[in-house]
Structure 1
């Protein structure tokens, strides 16, 4: 551990301002004064409590709604009993403008809470066994798991009891409250399907098999922009809590407390290496670990299904809550529905939706006809069933775009354009670079940005593509920067047109990406989208497609040639060369100028000829050259 100790000491010589604040004040002081602040009013709250220590207890001040608070309620594994769901709904109705957000950590956020109501709201939540403790800042956050844990056919190990044992290590314990260098997210899944984005957390325990025994492989260091990496550790269920406790102690003791932007577990691993970290965990826990087994989380959950059969023969009904915008009234209706037709249990999902559990087959038709289900049913749209969007400018001081409305409007537009599309498409929206909408793991990810265009400030998004949640998961890649909000739907439409045209029946976008789009450069995909949108704006029917001329080419110059070959053929009705390969055209005559055959401008003709010219000095080498040329036409 010499390397770990040395690097930790070096990185902790100069503490950041939050660590210095923790030395001057404690979370307990803020908690003990909450009743006093409620009596004296908003102006009595000191800045350090308002902007930091309140967050230790899930209480967040939001300047966008002056003198009102957001409360983040910890819902372990997304599981809500009937009584808990009713209480949350009642509290939202009475104190929070009847508004609820469902979040990507399977939690509930209540908004518009006044300072004078905070103590009573927290007591009411505690009365049904739920708490807001440690849902913000430098704490172990809500633990996520498969929402169908223990009840789905592919649930091999029920993880609920393990989750509670992990939570019991730190929840409401003074030695852990706000004592970490940075926030710490945890996931655990004992199922074959990855229904909880299991690889995107600081510590991930993923179903695995070793020597014929089922347990968990450990992955560590996930965060926004990076999926967790294999730790080469296999654990049985009863070994997970002690491993977690030892890991937490190592992170607390040696984690970096200098730059807030580089203090997550990932950065400790980057600095000392995974092997060094695991050795420290073994020393801290007093026990060695077996090497990893075979990870068994290779698939996604279903697509547009509104019901899922469970092990006991009953069904889980899937309610779609676009962008997680819910209400107290709807939560109460869902709870009553779950009691009357199901087992009385609701389970929230990381994709801001929910399941009603335990509905027998004979009650399904009546349950599906209930007003709350009709309002939040899937509507046969692949664009809503796996849609995520974080709070945005209305509720978050960091948001760049409104986000939730943008996500919903885009999904509505695409639903109208592709009403019969099957498969699965995960569109994840983050309102800013902080990435609370986990955009990097989406099939198509969006992150809010502000940029200048023609001398004016413009709101828009950067579009990412190719995030995966199967196998061992990967972050998506930046595809297009600075797309104005009003153009986003049209850019995505071009991508979906290619998906619809080339996909296999029922194929999810993630598999289509692996099968097709990984064989094309992202520059070629971006150019197709930009070009086709430009043609639409010019009311030109020309449209590029991905085909054998482009897919699988080894260089960008060859992809450009493939697109140029395609354009020439569409303009003239003829092939420019007999062989559509840049490496085989040099013994053929120069093609006719397309303006002599088709009706195009001289400038556009120069672009097409520059894509297919026999002369390497005249031929475009990169797509950005063509894009710049097209802008001037």
Structure 2
């Protein structure tokens, strides 16, 4: 089968059919579960659109900009991977000279596959038990948790058994495979130590306590640009699977399916309200749903070596901004087998080795920053504007490492690096604001991610690549001077006291004037008058600062405008 005749689908009316997006039409034509049987007979040199879309339900992605290239996404629930799987995977990647990227959902992407080997690799991985099903498309994606689940000193409930139950329910379920309104990301953590954020998940079971019983508070509707909201539901350990099933089925039944841009769980909750969604859950659940308990979350920063609750240690093997090669995977698997260590993949795109006898390991690895989450970039993704992996060099890496700053670097506004759930978030774009089209970065600052309080503020709309490092150094210097121990505290107590536009103006003014000054009062008028009274941009200060920002922004392109030029320049657009 190489084509699916969606035009022959019977709908109530022609208007009903035409209102559905192409993926929904495809679901009406054939169930992805049934399509799986045809994969072995496909001509991968001549795929049609329906094939390309349906293959995604099995982890096979055909690059839209280069139809000769394929990618395969592997799912590892909770980031658990055996040494045998690691070794076999390394040999496969070496044989076919594949590029390996770790994902922010504790999975692995294999790049540089082609039509001659994609089917063989797909089948080989299936044979050894590595799963690719439902890692793309409208499915429940890889289920994530804390890297130290069951073994960390902050861990109260080991959730891996529940993740296994969830995966058993969803995986290869013919009523679910590829049939959801849109993808669902799920996280569950039984640890109170939090170094990043699971609030970007559609479904998040967060450790909680009620009436001296540990369980989970339910949060719903997160995505890369939104925080999951409290559903006012407390879930006991033995209720997790049942509640999870009901959420999936309610979303599948009531989820929006027309406009592809409004089909996430977030949009359904926006449309009907979380109270109504909770009512749907209660209608399907045989027991009375309990109201929320106390969410238990505490900000922590993990070291390269962490002591575990059994007296052993973990080691964080640093990837090169999510890149790792086949030789590294082989070395890790051999070392782990020899030393009887467990290997896990983190949502921070690093690899962790557990159960070390001491804080020492004889395994060479990349030794720079490990707190930057990076998307695949333009080398591998048709949506990205920047080749993120190589252009990380435009960041102040030493300062980011020194302060354990969480930095999410996405190549486009889809936000695969969760830039709005980070201390500093970057989106790689391109702009011709001052005539010459250049790579520019949009800068977001100050997400309060530990407890899911706020997403990051968009402070800069466009900073050219050659000015990016200096602007970030100015921002980090402001944090250093504040005296706060974490950037998240600095964001709460300083950055969120000012408007986005004033922060834009403030950092631009410091860049423009090269003055070493700081936010030492919340009165913005006093800050400007005390520090910049004789500067030319002050002539443009208005309530929204837009004209002054236009004047100052040109300096980022190494061009200082005259007052006349600034008045003529109307190309700098402040909105997203």
TM over 0.5: yes
Distance change in 2, residues 1:166/1:632 (3 Å): same
Query: Superposed, which structure 2 residues align to 1:425-574 within 5 Å?
Result: 425-504=405-484, 507-535=485-513, 542-548=514-520, 551-553=521-523, 559-567=524-532
Q: Is the 8 A contact 1:467 1:477 kept in 2?
A: yes
Equivalents in 2 of 1:629, 1:112: separation in Å? 45
Q: Is the 8 A contact 2:200 2:225 kept in 1?
A: no
CA shift digits 1:479-535 (9 cap, x unpaired): 01011122211211110111122234xx12112211222233333322222122223
Q: 1:25 aligns with which of 27, 30, 38?
A: 30
Compute the displacement of 1:289 (Å). Answer: 0.8
What SS does structure 2 have at the residue aligned with 1:187?
strand
User: What is the aligned length?
Assistant: 541
Distance change in 2, residues 1:31/1:488 (3 Å): same
Compute the displacement of 1:129 (Å). Answer: 2.4
Of residues 231-240 and 114-123 in structure 1, the stretch that sits farther from structure 2 once superposed is: 114-123
Equivalents in 2 of 1:543, 1:12: separation in Å? 61
Residue of structure 2 equivalent to 1:346: 343
CA shift digits 1:321-372 (9 cap, x unpaired): 132011121111112222233x4321111111111111001xx43x1x322x
Residue of structure 1 equivalent to 2:569: none
Distance change in 2, residues 1:114/1:563 (3 Å): same
Equivalents in 1 of 2:296, 2:17: separation in Å? 39
Q: 1:16 aligns with which of 17, 21, 39?
A: 21
1:263 maps onto 2:260 in alignment: no
What SS does structure 2 have at the residue aligned with 1:69?
strand
Equivalents in 1 of 2:408, 2:24: separation in Å? 33
Compute the displacement of 1:314 (Å). Answer: 0.5
1:632 maps onto 2:554 in alignment: no
What SS does structure 2 have at the residue aligned with 1:215?
strand
Residue of structure 1 equivalent to 2:179: 179
Q: Is the 8 A contact 2:78 2:147 kept in 1?
A: yes
Equivalents in 1 of 2:287, 2:165: separation in Å? 19
Residue of structure 2 equivalent to 1:217: 217
CA shift digits 1:211-252 (9 cap, x unpaired): 111000000000121110000000111101100101111111
Equivalents in 2 of 1:489, 1:314: separation in Å? 39
Compute the displacement of 1:182 (Å). Answer: 0.5
Compute the displacement of 1:12 (Å). Answer: 9.8
Compute the displacement of 1:162 (Å). Answer: 0.7
What SS does structure 1 have at the residue aligned with 2:353?
strand
What SS does structure 1 have at the residue aligned with 2:437?
strand
1:400 maps onto 2:385 in alignment: yes
CA shift digits 1:236-278 (9 cap, x unpaired): 1110110010111111111111011101111111111111111
Residue of structure 2 equivalent to 1:75: 76
Residue of structure 2 equivalent to 1:42: 45
**Structure 1: gaps spanning 5 or more residues:** 1-9, 536-541, 554-558, 569-593, 595-603, 612-618
TM-score calculated relative to the size of structure 2: 0.89
CA RMSD of aligned residues (A): 2.2
Equivalents in 2 of 1:252, 1:463: separation in Å? 35
What SS does structure 2 have at the residue aligned with 1:100?
strand
Q: Is the 8 A contact 2:195 2:450 kept in 1?
A: no
TM-score calculated relative to the size of structure 1: 0.81
Query: Superposed, which structure 2 residues align to 1:356-375 within 5 Å?
Result: 356-361=353-358, 364-365=359-360, 367=361, 369-371=362-364, 375=365
Distance change in 2, residues 1:404/1:567 (3 Å): same
Q: Is the 8 A contact 1:544 1:567 kept in 2?
A: no
Distance change in 2, residues 1:473/1:58 (3 Å): farther
Query: Superposed, which structure 2 residues align to 1:251-330 within 5 Å?
Result: 251-302=251-302, 305-330=303-328
Residue of structure 1 equivalent to 2:394: 410
Compute the displacement of 1:474 (Å). Answer: 2.1
